[in-house]
Structure 1
Amino acid sequence: MEVVIMLNLYFLGKTRIEYNGKSLVESFRNKTIALICLLVINRDKYLSRERILDYLWPDSTEEAAKNNLRYNLWLIKKTIGASENSEEFLFIDKEHCGVNMNYSFQCDILDIMSFKPQESNSIESLLKLKNMFMGEFLEGCYYNNCDDFNEIIIFERTRFENFRVQILKRLEELYEEEGNTEEGLNILKEILDIEPYDEDVAAKVINLYMKIGNRASGIMFYNSFRDRLAGRLGIQPSEKLRKKYEELKQSQEPNSLQKDSQEVRIQTICINEVQYFWMADVTGKLFEQKQLACEKRLNEQMLRALGHIRPEILSGIKTDSNAEIPDVQIVNAFIHLILNICKDYKLTILVTGMEDMDAVSAGVSKYLKSSRIAGLNILEN
């Protein structure tokens, strides 16, 4: 049986080098990893040994630097074996070094560098690229006295951040074509996490809120964006964005006179350390909406389950304070309540501090989103 050699290189986030399923990072020095990375990003050309010495051993004597390079090249060749077709990972001669692109290997930064926006028409392929961004290029790495190489690191970090934004923008375009407004909004907000003052992206967010008839959320978003510009940059939104905001304010909310288009909108918050906190907050605010008649949408067992996390909803119902309520029963009762309300109403749940959502609530939120329940929108505020 033929053995297939597998080499995987990851330079975004914590560096990983895996060969046949085994990590090699512990076997390499920091300069060995830097050498591999340097050769990979210059994959289309061979670097002269002299140039490599200038990058990685500029403060060493010529003899010591050459010995260091020879040792590291030997270590790489010794540790990363030839491929199944007898190709070596590196090309090495007396004057130059480089990556042998005939050697079969996978590398996150090479996959990302091959990205071409208009040729990427698959959400699946774009999500795969998006998930490769585990952190900065050579995260946490700094090489003493290697100023030129450190400048390369800074340049590449900026370049890959730009790649990330391009990938996200193309992904948002595809979600918009698919009519998946919720995922489109999430992607736009992810772009704003990277480029927080991008008014074109902010305008797209407002457009999507108008498209789904969620004027209130759009207004809250605009106010937050405006305050960010004023507080951090000392400027106001452009005239173009202000006009978009006026258009938003004049847009019509969904017709609330017809039962099948009535909308309920609640604002919720998260606390990570408190189990069920977000679910309890949602439950309490839904029960406050008297027109929903939440107590009539649940049987007594379900009411008792939700009463475990929101005791005030059990007014008039006798309970055994010592009785244990299984987690799954609480979760099922909560999901049943949401599903039942969405049969009659459009329910929008705005979440503040989603990154602080407790683990159980996060799992339930993920389930509700993936279920694509008609009439339900869970949006980050």
Structure 2
Amino acid sequence: MLNLNFLGKARVEYNGKSVVESFRNKTIALICLLVINNDKYLSREKILDYLWPDSSEEAAKNNLRFNLWLIKKNIGTSETDQEFLFIDKDHCGINMNYEFQCDILDIMNFKPQQDRPIESLLRLKNMFVGEFLEGCYYNNCDDFNEIIIFERTRFENFRVQILKGLEELYEKDGKTEECLNILKEILDIEQYDEEVAAKILTLYMKIGNRGSGIVFYNSFRDRLASRLGIQPSEKLRKKYEEIKQSEETNSQHGDVKCIKLQTICIKDVQYFWMADVVGKLFALKQLKCDTRLNERMLKVLGYIQPDVIPNPKSEGEAEVPAVQIVNAFIHLILSICKDYKLTIFISGGEEMDSVSDGVSKYLKSSKVDGLSIIAN
């Protein structure tokens, strides 16, 4: 039995034994080229243009003949005595009467409109162990390299369609947690899909995990702002307000009120994470942050976050020392943690500026009651 895998690192196994080691650099490329054109035979001239465009005609023909020989030598006949390749004087192709398994062929045969069981879709999903011909690039083969790029995009689209098919089946079966995980996987690929984001928010409400829904929305909103410079649509904002109001109502009935923040980092901007935290805390009016700090501390934090107090620095005044900013920030956090359980999620923690990094490490090591700082 022959097994061909072109997603991730290319693998070719015949009767359970890897034969890739016996191939040359372009042998895998030749097999792959024939497989993705399995519905037709390619002319030898076309293959030469793809894989040996910079060689002389005679050298290119010799290269093709040698690679075809390598394939025939290492991939034997099937149980029905069929040859793997069809070869004549002018054309080459895959013999589709030859029994073999190939990941990309199975995926190419996927039709979204067809009814398939969950097990079938899971098998296809698990084939995506990497991108098409991962790590492969062929010098001076521009047309073939363009095919690789095109196919990578095409198989990513197949992956999304398969995941959406799974999500629909899980939804019908009432498997909410599985449905939520699949939607997150889709969003990892299509990172700005607001319809998927809205479905995720709806599911968080359905399972009663509104706090995670709020954290998810803030992360998604920050992604749109930082990478595309846009805000979520009105429809998504309304969904967020709905889940936020519901969470606030639930929190008021508990013994401990919970505050969850999703924050982001920019490495080369000092105090950026701290400023992001301060801005989001002051935006929560129920915290009454301005009453937790004296005038001097408010002015100090206004230096890094104008939402606290606009234009805090008078003309001719020296820069605010870092130690004052840090102390005011820590004082605010400690004050809030006396009344609330505060969870701060951090996106892109590896990009945190040095001052904020030191402050976050200090707070973590201090083990402040009611404070959790979590990288996500």
1:84 and 1:263 mapped to 2: Cα distance?
A: 69
Tell me: CA distance 1:172–1:266, structure 2 relative to 1, closer, same or farther (3 Å).
Answer: farther
- Counterpart amino acid of residue 99 in structure 1: I
Match of 1:147 among 137, 142, 158: 142
What does 1:177-256 correspond to in 2, within 5 Å? 177-251=172-246
Contact 2:7 2:103 in 1 (8 A): yes
SS of match in other structure, 1:119: coil
Residue 130 of structure 2: which of 129, 135, 138 is its match? 135
Separation in 1, partners of 2:149, 2:161 = 19
CA distance in 2, matches of 1:112, 1:61: 37
Once structures 1 and 2 are overlaid, which stretch shifts more, 237-246 or 149-158? 237-246
* Aligned residue among 3, 8, 32 for 1:13: 8
C-alpha contact (below 8 Å) 2:211/2:247 kept by paired residues: no
What is the count of residue pairs matched by the alignment?
267
Which amino acid is the alignment partner of residue 244 of structure 2? Answer: K
Does the 8 Å CA contact 1:213/1:254 hold for their aligned counterparts? no
Which of residues 20, 30, 33 is equivalent to 1:35?
A: 30
Amino acid at match of 1:76: I
Asked if residue 71 in structure 1 is aligned to residue 66 in structure 2, the reply is yes
Work out the CA distance in 1 between the residues paired with 2:100 and 2:256: 53
- C-alpha distance in 1 between matches for 2:52 and 2:239: 55
Match of 2:47 in 1: 52
The TM-score, its normalising length taken from structure 2, stands at: 0.66
Aligned residue type for 2:213: G
Q: Contact (CA 8 Å) 2:251, 2:258: kept in 1 or not?
A: no
Instruction: State the percentage of identical aligned residues.
Output: 80
Q: How does 1:288-307 map to 2 (within 5 A)?
A: none
- Structure 1 pair 263/102, CA: closer, same or farther in 2 (3 Å)? farther
Cα shift at 1:121: 3.1
Q: Under a length normalisation based on structure 1, what TM-score does the superposition of the two structures give?
A: 0.65
Q: 1:129 to 1:253 in 2, by over 3 A?
A: farther
The within-5 A match list for 1:85-100 is 85-100=80-95
RMSD of aligned Cα (Å): 2.7
Q: Deviations over 1:209-244 (max 9, x none)?
A: 111122111111111100110011111011121122
Question: What runs of 5+ residues in structure 1 fail to find an aligned partner?
Answer: 1-5, 268-348, 354-379
Q: Distance in 2 between matches of 1:255 and 1:46?
A: 65
Per the alignment, do residues 231 and 256 of structure 1 end up closer, same or farther by CA in structure 2, a change over 3 Å counting?
closer
Instruction: Write out per-residue CA displacement over residues 131-169 of structure 1, whole angstroms, 9 at most, x where no aligned residue.
Output: 100101000000000000000000000000111111111
CA deviation after TM superposition for structure 1 residue 249, in Å: 2.4
- SS of residue in 2 equivalent to 1:139: coil
Q: Give the corresponding residue for 2:101.
A: 106
For 1:298-317, what aligned pairs fall within 5 Å after superposition?
none
1:70-97 deviations in whole A, cap 9, x for unaligned?
1111111121111121111000000100
Structure 2: segments with no counterpart, 5+ residues: 261-342, 348-374
Whole-Å Cα distance in 2 between the matches of residues 36 and 110 of structure 1? 13
Amino acid in the other structure paired with 1:77: K
Match of 1:124 among 116, 119, 125: 119
Which segments of structure 1 move beyond 4 Å, counting only runs of 4 or more? 252-259, 262-267, 349-353
Q: Contact (CA 8 Å) 1:91, 1:98: kept in 2 or not?
A: yes
Instruction: Summarize the alignment of residues 324-339 of structure 1 with structure 2, pairs less than 5 Å apart.
Output: none
Higher Rg of the two aligned structures: 2
Q: Which amino acid aligns with 2:24?
A: R
Q: Which of the residues 144, 156, 163 maps onto 2:158?
A: 163
